[in-house]
């Protein structure tokens, strides 16, 4: 079948690899020429590594390993342990997106996809076919995969997203020269600050450079992202003052939007499939989205392999099975943090005390990183699974069925 994939981030490129390997005629279009950079913490998490391995794609040996991580909140901190589970290795890696995305883009070409530079401006239906406009030219395709990120043109063109409901976030990262004592994430809930709740991070890139950034949950109001740079400044100063990082070189800065929790999204309809950020699959608790982009690309390619242009229903239910319970729990947590920061603060303080016990810290790490599906009988996995299912039941009970469940 003739397939147009809009966007060559991890989701689009992996979809192109898998569909081209299946023998489809794949055109992969991105607005940027590759290699190109992308705002990111540059962490490819354990789940993402598992999906890449399944697709037989290896990362370069210099990708730097990230294991256990310090989680800070107010004056306290705990260590989230990193242990292998049934389906994941228990560690992630940092690799710059310029290199990672280029590697996948080249893999798509190697698999037989045609790559093009161009901006997808519109998708319309023309009978059974889909007409895709790239710049001023239009062509017909049998299938379209929207992998064009948080502001997806494909999702908007095809009426697959409700902008009034979408749960948005904004994140800003710096690449700096320096060193850190530890890989670390800090949660913020300070009241009276528009750009909160949120989190900050610092990850060692293993080459004398750090990725340092912040992410903020903004609900549906993009103007709440306004204080993000000031928050990053303060966070960086705090890490320096505490002696956690030393910075020796000037930063390069880049920011981007996150679309989280599947809220207000329909991920597929009649020959059109959304993957990754376009489908709103970012983890609302910690902003990770590469694993979801890669996994959704795999599920999309598999639905197309089995049902061709009629695979939308199968894809929607696969997305629901793999992401529904966790994302609805994350959505609830974000709603509470946005509307009732005091309740969230009590919950976080309790967690910081309980998290001194290894089993609880392990459960929190699995839950927070959405690793329960891959964890088997790992320490804390039962508690993590319970958190996901109780959270999902509460979300549906309290807030009613989110649109994407219908």
Among 26, 63, 147, 216, binds ligand FAD (CB under 6 A): 147
Q: Is the dihedral of CA 386, 392, 393, 397 positive or negative?
A: positive
Q: Which is nearer to ligand FAD, 119 or 354 (CB)?
A: 119
Q: Which is nearer to ligand FAD, 174 or 385 (CB)?
A: 174
Start-to-end CA span in the chain (Å): 29
Per-residue binding string, ligand FAD, 264-303, x by CB under 6 A, is: ------------xxx---x----xxxxx-x----------
Number of residues that bind ligand FAD (CB under 6 A): 40
Does 10 participate in binding ligand FAD (rule CB under 6 A)? Answer: yes
DSSP for 96-147, written as a single string? -HHHHHHHHHHHHHHHT-EEEE--EEEEEEETTEEEEEETTEEEEESEEEE-
Q: Closest residue to ligand FAD, Cβ-based?
A: 289
- Cβ of residue 390: shortest distance to ligand FAD, in angstroms? 25
* Among candidate residues 386, 166, 383, the one with its CA nearest the CA of residue 266: 166
Element (H, E) at 218: strand 209-219
The CA distance from 270 to 206, in Å, is: 45
Q: Which is nearer to ligand FAD, 73 or 257 (CB)?
A: 257
- Cβ of residue 206: shortest distance to ligand FAD, in angstroms? 14
Does 144 participate in binding ligand FAD (rule CB under 6 A)? Answer: no
Among 11, 146, 198, 284, binds ligand FAD (CB under 6 A): 11
Among 3, 166, 171, 351, binds ligand FAD (CB under 6 A): 171
Does 213 participate in binding ligand FAD (rule CB under 6 A)? Answer: yes
Q: Number of helices and strands (H, E) in the chain?
A: 12, 20
Does 225 participate in binding ligand FAD (rule CB under 6 A)? Answer: no
Q: Which stretch binds ligand FAD (CB under 6 A): 34-42, 66-74, 361-369, 388-396?
A: 34-42
Decide: 314 and 307 in contact? Cβ < 8 Å: yes
The CA distance from 381 to 369, in Å, is: 12
Let me know if 244 is exposed, middle or buried by CB neighbors in 10 A (0-12, 13-18, 19+): middle
Does 59 participate in binding ligand FAD (rule CB under 6 A)? Answer: no
Among 3, 27, 28, 40, binds ligand FAD (CB under 6 A): 40
Q: Which is nearer to ligand FAD, 172 or 338 (CB)?
A: 172
Q: Which is nearer to ligand FAD, 5 or 325 (CB)?
A: 5
Q: Which is nearer to ligand FAD, 286 or 378 (CB)?
A: 286
Q: Which is nearer to ligand FAD, 41 or 85 (CB)?
A: 41
Overall size of the chain counted in residues: 406
Among 41, 284, 324, 365, binds ligand FAD (CB under 6 A): 41
- Here the tokens at position 98 are 């310029």
Does 9 participate in binding ligand FAD (rule CB under 6 A)? Answer: yes
Does 17 participate in binding ligand FAD (rule CB under 6 A)? Answer: no
Q: Which is nearer to ligand FAD, 11 or 365 (CB)?
A: 11
Does 183 participate in binding ligand FAD (rule CB under 6 A)? Answer: no
Q: Which stretch binds ligand FAD (CB under 6 A): 33-41, 216-224, 355-363, 382-390?
A: 33-41
Strands in 43-44's sheet, in edge-to-edge order, are 43-44, 92-94, 64-66
Decide: 11 and 296 in contact? Cβ < 8 Å: yes
**Rounded alpha-carbon distances, angstroms, from residue 136 to 4, 119, 146:** 16, 9, 19
Q: Which is nearer to ligand FAD, 265 or 379 (CB)?
A: 265
The helix/strand/coil state of 355 is coil
Decide: 294 and 147 in contact? Cβ < 8 Å: no
The CA distance from 289 to 299, in Å, is: 15
The CA distance from 321 to 325, in Å, is: 8
| Chain residues 337-376 in contact with ligand FAD, contact rule CB under 6 A | none
The helix/strand/coil state of 20 is helix
Among 5, 42, 262, 324, binds ligand FAD (CB under 6 A): 42
Q: Which is nearer to ligand FAD, 52 or 258 (CB)?
A: 258
**Rounded alpha-carbon distances, angstroms, from residue 235 to 174, 185, 200, 239, 285:** 12, 11, 7, 6, 19
Residues in contact with ligand FAD by CB under 6 A are 6-12, 29-32, 38-43, 45, 119-120, 147-149, 153, 171-173, 213, 256, 258, 276-278, 282, 287-291, 293
């Amino acid at each position: 079948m003739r397939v147009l994939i809009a966007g060559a981030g991890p989701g689009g490129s992996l979809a192109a690899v898998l569909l081209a390997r299946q023998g489809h005629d794949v055109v992969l279009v991105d607005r940027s020429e590759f290699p190109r950079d992308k705002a990111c913490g540059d962490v490819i998490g354990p789940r993402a590594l598992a999906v890449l391995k399944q697709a037989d794609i290896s990362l370069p040996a210099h990708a730097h390993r990230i294991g256990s991580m310090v989680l800070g909140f107010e004056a306290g901190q705990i260590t989230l342990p990193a242990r292998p589970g049934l389906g994941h290795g228990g560690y992630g890696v940092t690799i710059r997106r310029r290199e990672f995305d280029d590697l996948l883009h080249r893999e798509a070409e190697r698999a037989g996809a045609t790559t093009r530079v161009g901006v997808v401006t519109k998708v319309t239906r023309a009978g059974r076919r889909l007409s895709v406009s790239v710049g001023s030219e239009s062509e017909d395709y049998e299938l379209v995969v929207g992998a064009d990120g948080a502001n997806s043109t494909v999702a908007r063109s095809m009426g697959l997203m409700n902008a009034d409901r979408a749960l948005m976030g904004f994140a800003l990262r710096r690449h700096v020269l320096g060193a850190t004592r530890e890989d670390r994430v800090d949660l913020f809930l300070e009241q009276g600050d528009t750009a909160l709740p949120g989190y900050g991070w610092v990850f060692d890139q293993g080459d004398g450079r750090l990725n340092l950034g912040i992410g903020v949950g903004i609900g549906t109001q993009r103007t709440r992202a306004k204080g993000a740079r000031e928050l990053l400044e303060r966070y960086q100063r705090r890490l320096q003052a505490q002696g956690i990082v030393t910075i020796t070189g000037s930063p390069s800065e880049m920011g981007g939007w996150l679309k989280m929790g599947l809220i207000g999204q329909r991920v597929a309809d009649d020959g059109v499939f959304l993957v990754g950020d376009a489908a709103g699959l970012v983890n609302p608790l910690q902003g990770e989205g590469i694993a979801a982009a890669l996994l959704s690309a795999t599920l999309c390619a598999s639905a197309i392999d089995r049902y061709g242009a009629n695979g939308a229903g199968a894809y929607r239910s696969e997305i629901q099975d793999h992401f529904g319970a966790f994302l609805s729990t994350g959505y609830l947590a974000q709603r509470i943090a946005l509307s009732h920061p005091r309740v969230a603060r009590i919950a976080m303080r309790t967690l910081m005390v309980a998290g001194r016990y290894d089993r609880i810290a392990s459960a929190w790490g699995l839950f927070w990183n959405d690793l329960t599906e891959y964890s088997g009988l790992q320490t804390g996995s039962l508690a993590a699974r319970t958190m996901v299912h109780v959270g999902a039941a509460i979300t549906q009970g309290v807030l009613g069925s989110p649109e994407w469940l219908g």
